[in-house]
Amino acid sequence: MSERIIGVGVIGIGLRGQHSYEQGLSRDPRVKVVAVSSYPDIDQAVREGRSDDDDRRYAEGFEADFYGDDYKKLLEREDVHLVSLMCEPSRALELGRACFAAGKHVFRDKPVTKTATEAMALQRAADQADHQLILGLPLRYHSPLVEAQKKIAGGTIGDLLAITMSYIWASGPLEGFTASAGYLDAYGGGDVTTAGFHAIDYLNWLIDSSPVSVYCEQDTFFYEDYRKVGMEDFGQLVITYDNGVIATLITGRVPKRSGQTSWLDITGTAGAIEVRDLFPSIRIGGETTTRIPFYHDPLSALCKETVDYLLCDRSVPANASDGASVLAVLEAARHSAANHHVEVVDLTSYNLTGTRE
Amino acid sequence: MKPLKIAVIGAGTPNIATSNHLPVLAGLDSVNLVTLCDINEEGVKKYAEQYGAKWYTDFEDVLKDPEVEAVDICTPDWLHARQVVSAARAGKHVICEKPIAMNMEEARQMAHAVESNGITFMAAHMRRFQPMTQCIKNLIERGELGQIIYARMSVKGAFFPYPKGSPYYKKEMRGQFLHNGPHYVDTLCHFVDSRPIRVHGATRRFYPDPDEAMEMDNFTTATIRFENGAIGSVEQNLTMLNPRGYPTREQIMLIGTKATITWNSTDDATLVQYTNGSTSYLDPNIIKTRTDPYAAELDHFAECVRTGQKPITDIAESIKSLSICLGALDSAERGHPIALQKGI
């Protein structure tokens, strides 16, 4: 890329606009959000209560040159190099393909698509266009988790035996969000799918082997609107990998009052590594106990590295193939939970190997 | 209340009987130690002299002794079922170490013997009597956590090696998860307080020294689903053998609809001792009085015998935790979850 500024176009501001990746990207002086667009036929259920006026104000916040509901006009702009594609997963393949056909890179939130098959199709579209799909996975930039991965890749604790990870969201759902059949259809699952996507990708990255089977117990425990549409909010997965590692993942969402409990416990043949709190905080005791978080912002690191890679024309660390591996596990997990079986995860059926080149 | 006259079975070598049960028995008003029994004559004589008790080398002689009202069975795992059945037929009340049996058929025979002979049976799940367990249970019963939707118990540390040639190394013994797993499973069931309906298990092994390798795996993770919807998880990771010295770490994590509880034995230890390169994590709340969990469980057992009340870990509760442990191991072998039967 000859320009020193990366122009970002945002498609899908109505969805998850409160924490979209373009906000992180735009904090980088080498990035400018130049255009913002909606897209046709958005299911109102997945807009989380946002109106067209909300979308316009969001665009104005970036001082973007263009705002509209025709994403094709955004794709025609030469100053858009990267599209922050914030649509629902069920639309990501269609819109992503359009981006690649227009010669744009794509930055994509999780779940990358609704299915593993779609994710692989999206990656093929990126490869054919010789452009990149960057999958936003902040856990790969969470400093203690990065350090753990480095130590394991370096053999510090020998061969991996077992990993247990608790990755639980203890806030939200976002204001204005109500679970619906439309949301469930667009995303394929609830919070085991969305929170679990991050954690499963991290486990796949850390373990560097193909997941081969999964057992899952999940249910709706907390949210009445989830229950009405049969959408899970919490569960546990036991994933077995080709190299023998057994990974137990506790994930989903709990109400804020239940408290944050996210940690990682790794066992190897020559030692152990523990990340005892993914979101450490200082506790101040007084009339009430206050917690002040002090962990760094992995989102900023992710966005900075994305810009670095794009400016240097280097391949990004996580793409749609990684997303497909995660979705293959999640699809098997949903079948497991529904049928009370151990489900086989066959990455080869998606032309995936599960290990890094 | 009249003290319960008790015989401790399997008290001839340094083990749970001689290290944990006998020292607390001596200080209890609710129980009178009358005799010891072990096949190791030299050993049982030594302990009998120490505690001022009679001794036998044949369990049948204990059962014939009219002075003995109850037996405290601390023998190797594979003897538990047959000794419980014999004791029940002889009209002796029984407190039995875990696992109560090696398989469900043995457990059913025990249940039948206990029921048909009208004796009091209690499994020695002493963790229910730990102050911390009782504190958490109290919080649950007061509604502070709301409904428990997820419960996890785990232990991570070094495999505790048995003497050379011990039958515990054999596959038929089902490994450490049957031997020690019932403690963690029982405590989890105590917290969740619902019937387990299915269990999934996964295991693997790591023994860096082939000479101390058991025939069974030393890592087990069990996922349990309960009738009330709660998900349970018990992980016993005894692979921390290289390097030596990893401190045994137990963890509890409970998620309720109102609050979450987390605890672990290293971060939350009340007394930490560093000596000669090793670290010990101690709970000074447990002292040799009634607050000692072994003392508290024996007190409870004696009270149940005298009053006729049902022990907190009666035969049905004990079979519940046994069925989960066996189910998890079966599941790991067969590669699918195991549905757990209702009742005995």
pLDDT digits (tens, 9 = 90+) for B113-150: 999 999 999 999 999 998 889 999 999 999 999 999 99
Q: Give yes or no for residue B290 having a pLDDT over 60.
A: no
Residues B214 and B190 in one domain: yes
Residues B103 and B132 in one domain: no
Identify the H or E element spanning B220. Answer: strand B219-226
Question: Who's near A281: CB < 8 A, 6+ residues apart?
Answer: A291, A292, A293, A294, A295
In which band, very low, low, confident or very high, does the pLDDT at A355 lie, cut at 50, 70 and 90? low
Interior angle at CA A243, CA A320 and CA B161, nearest 5: 145
Closest Cα of chain A to B286: distance in Å?
Answer: 26
Identify the H or E element spanning B281. Answer: strand B278-282
Closest Cα of chain A to B322: distance in Å?
Answer: 21
CB-based contact (8 Å) between A158 and chain B?
Answer: yes
**Is residue B295 a part of any domain in this protein?**
no
Residues B106 and B216 in one domain: no
CB-based contact (8 Å) between A276 and chain B?
Answer: yes
Please tell me which residue, B83 or A348, carries the higher pLDDT value: B83
Helix (H, G, I), strand (E, B) or coil at A319: coil
Q: Say which of B149, B198, B258 has its CB closest to residue A257.
A: B258
The residue among B125, B152, B185 that closes a domain is B125
**Is residue B312 a part of any domain in this protein?**
no
CB contact under 8 Å between A221 and B149, yes or no, is: yes
pLDDT tens track for B220-266: 999 999 999 999 999 999 999 888 888 889 999 999 999 999 998 88
CB contact at 8 A, B248 and B157:
yes
Residue A356, pLDDT score? 52
CATH number, domain at B233?
3.30.360.10
Alpha helices in B118-240 (DSSP H): 131-141, 176-179, 181-192
Contacts A238 to B, Cβ<8 Å:
200, 202, 221, 223
Residue A126: CA atoms inside 13 Å, Cβ hemisphere, count? 26
Q: Give yes or no for residue A99 having a pLDDT over 90.
A: yes
Q: Which of A7-16, A177-186, B243-252 has the lowest mean pLDDT?
A: A7-16
For residue B293, give the DSSP letter: H
Closest Cα of chain B to A262: distance in Å?
Answer: 11
Residues B171 and B49 in one domain: no
CB contact under 8 Å between A258 and B198, yes or no, is: no
Tokens of B276: 């000669």
Q: Give yes or no for residue A135 having a pLDDT over 60.
A: yes
| Residue B250, domain extent | 128-289+321-339
CB-based contact (8 Å) between A291 and chain B?
Answer: no
pLDDT tens track for B188-221: 999 999 999 999 999 999 999 888 899 999 999 9
CB contact at 8 A, B240 and A272:
yes
CB-based contact (8 Å) between A258 and chain B?
Answer: yes
Question: Who's near B178: CB < 8 A, 6+ residues apart?
Answer: B77, B99, B102, B325, B326, B329
Contacts A267 to B, Cβ<8 Å:
156, 219, 237, 239-240
Distances (CA, A) of A76 to A32, A80, A127, B314: 17, 8, 20, 74
**Is residue B298 a part of any domain in this protein?**
no
Please choose, from the candidates A89, A88, A92, A72, the residue with its C-alpha nearest in 3D space to the C-alpha of residue A80: A72
Residues B108 and B166 in one domain: no
Residue A69, pLDDT score? 87
Residue A15, pLDDT score? 61
Q: Is A209 exposed, middle or buried (0-12, 13-18, 19+ CB in 10 A)?
A: middle
Other Cβ atoms closer than 10 A to A321? 24
Closest Cα of chain A to B50: distance in Å?
Answer: 42
**Is residue B182 a part of any domain in this protein?**
yes
pLDDT tens track for A204-243: 999 999 999 999 999 999 999 999 999 999 999 999 999 9
pLDDT tens track for A256-289: 877 778 999 999 999 999 998 888 778 787 777 7
Percent of chain B with pLDDT over 70: 97
Please choose, from the candidates A95, A100, A64, A97, the residue with its C-alpha nearest in 3D space to the C-alpha of residue A82: A100
For chain A, the straight-line distance linking the first and the last C-alpha, in angstroms and rounded, comes to 25
**Tell me, what amino acid is at A242?**
D
Residues B329 and B210 in one domain: yes
CA distance A264 to A275: 5
The residue among B104, B125, B146 that closes a domain is B125
CB contact under 8 Å between A258 and B260, yes or no, is: yes
Per DSSP, what are the bridge partners of residue A7?
Answer: A32
Tokens of A29: 């002086």
Residues B147 and B48 in one domain: no
pLDDT tens track for A142-173: 999 999 999 999 999 999 999 999 999 987 78
**Is residue B296 a part of any domain in this protein?**
no
Please tell me which residue, B275 or A306, carries the higher pLDDT value: A306
Task: Name all domains of chain A by residue range, CATH numbers in brackets.
Answer: 6-136 (3.40.50.720), 139-350 (3.30.360.10)
Closest Cα of chain A to B279: distance in Å?
Answer: 16
CB contact under 8 Å between B208 and A269, yes or no, is: yes
Residue A76, pLDDT score? 97
Q: Say which of A166, A217, A270 has its CB closest to residue B231.
A: A217
Contacts B335 to A, Cβ<8 Å:
342
Choose the mutation target among B139, B205, B209, B221 for the interface with A, i.e. most A CBs under 10 Å.
Answer: B221
Residue A46, pLDDT score? 73
Q: Residue B313: left if φ>0, alpha if ψ -120 to 50, beta else—which one?
A: beta
In which band, very low, low, confident or very high, does the pLDDT at A357 lie, cut at 50, 70 and 90? very low
Q: Which residue of A has its CA nearest to B148?
A: A221
pTM: 0.94
Contacts B231 to A, Cβ<8 Å:
217-219, 234-236
DSSP string, B90-126: TT-EEEEPSPS-SSHHHHHHHHHHHHHHT--EEE--G
Query: What are the residues of chain B with a beta carbon less than 8 Å away from any beta carbon of chain A?
Result: 149-150, 152, 154, 156, 198, 200, 202-204, 206, 208, 219, 221, 223, 225, 229, 231, 233, 235, 237, 239-240, 242-243, 246, 253, 255-260, 262, 267, 335-337
CB contact at 8 A, A66 and A83:
no
CA distance B337 to B344: 19
Residues B29 and B66 in one domain: yes
**Is residue B299 a part of any domain in this protein?**
no
CB contact at 8 A, A81 and A48:
no
CB contact under 8 Å between B156 and A267, yes or no, is: yes
Please tell me which residue, A44 or A321, carries the higher pLDDT value: A321
Residue B214, pLDDT score? 93
Q: Which residue of B has its CA nearest to A251?
A: B150
Residues B74 and B44 in one domain: yes
Percent of chain A with pLDDT over 70: 95
Helix (H, G, I), strand (E, B) or coil at B286: coil
Residues B33 and B142 in one domain: no
**Is residue B154 a part of any domain in this protein?**
yes
CB contact under 8 Å between A246 and B221, yes or no, is: yes
Mean pLDDT value across chain A: 90
Buried b (16+ CB within 10 A) or exposed e, A164-188: bbbbbbbeebeeebebbebbbebbb
Closest Cα of chain A to B236: distance in Å?
Answer: 11
Mean pLDDT value across chain B: 93
Residue A171, pLDDT score? 78
Other Cβ atoms closer than 10 A to A113? 27
The stretch B74-83 carries a mean pLDDT of 98
pLDDT tens track for A67-98: 998 999 999 999 999 999 999 999 999 999 99
In which band, very low, low, confident or very high, does the pLDDT at B285 lie, cut at 50, 70 and 90? low
CB contact under 8 Å between A248 and B262, yes or no, is: no
The stretch B41-47 carries a mean pLDDT of 98
Choose the mutation target among B255, B265, B268, B334 for the interface with A, i.e. most A CBs under 10 Å.
Answer: B255
Q: Which residue of A has its CA nearest to B158?
A: A271
A273-281 long-range contacts (CB < 8 A, ≥24 apart) are A273/A148, A273/A151, A273/A152, A273/A156, A273/A157, A275/A144, A275/A145, A275/A148, A276/B267, A278/A142, A278/A144, A278/A145, A278/A167
Pairing type for strands A211-219 and A160-169 reads unpaired
Q: Give yes or no for residue B288 having a pLDDT over 60.
A: no
Helix (H, G, I), strand (E, B) or coil at A298: helix
CA distance B122 to B315: 7
Closest Cα of chain B to A45: distance in Å?
Answer: 26
Residues B195 and B234 in one domain: yes
Question: Who's near B118: CB < 8 A, 6+ residues apart?
Answer: none
Please choose, from the candidates A327, A298, A315, A352, the residue with its C-alpha nearest in 3D space to the C-alpha of residue A105: A315
Closest Cα of chain B to A189: distance in Å?
Answer: 19
Q: Tell me how many domains chain B contains.
A: 2
CB contact under 8 Å between B337 and A235, yes or no, is: no
CB-based contact (8 Å) between A283 and chain B?
Answer: no
For residue B310, give the DSSP letter: P
CB contact under 8 Å between B231 and A235, yes or no, is: yes
Contacts B154 to A, Cβ<8 Å:
164
**Is residue B25 a part of any domain in this protein?**
yes
CB contact under 8 Å between B239 and A267, yes or no, is: yes
* The total number of residues written for chain A in this structure: 357
In which band, very low, low, confident or very high, does the pLDDT at A351 lie, cut at 50, 70 and 90? confident
CB contact under 8 Å between A246 and B225, yes or no, is: no
The residue among B125, B141, B170 that closes a domain is B125
Residues B181 and B245 in one domain: yes
pLDDT tens track for A287-303: 777 777 777 788 889 99
Residue B316, pLDDT score? 96
CATH number, domain at B89?
3.40.50.720
pLDDT tens track for A23-37: 889 999 999 999 999
In which band, very low, low, confident or very high, does the pLDDT at A59 lie, cut at 50, 70 and 90? confident
Is the ipTM, as predicted for this complex, more than 0.95? no
CA distance B319 to B337: 18
CB-based contact (8 Å) between A244 and chain B?
Answer: yes
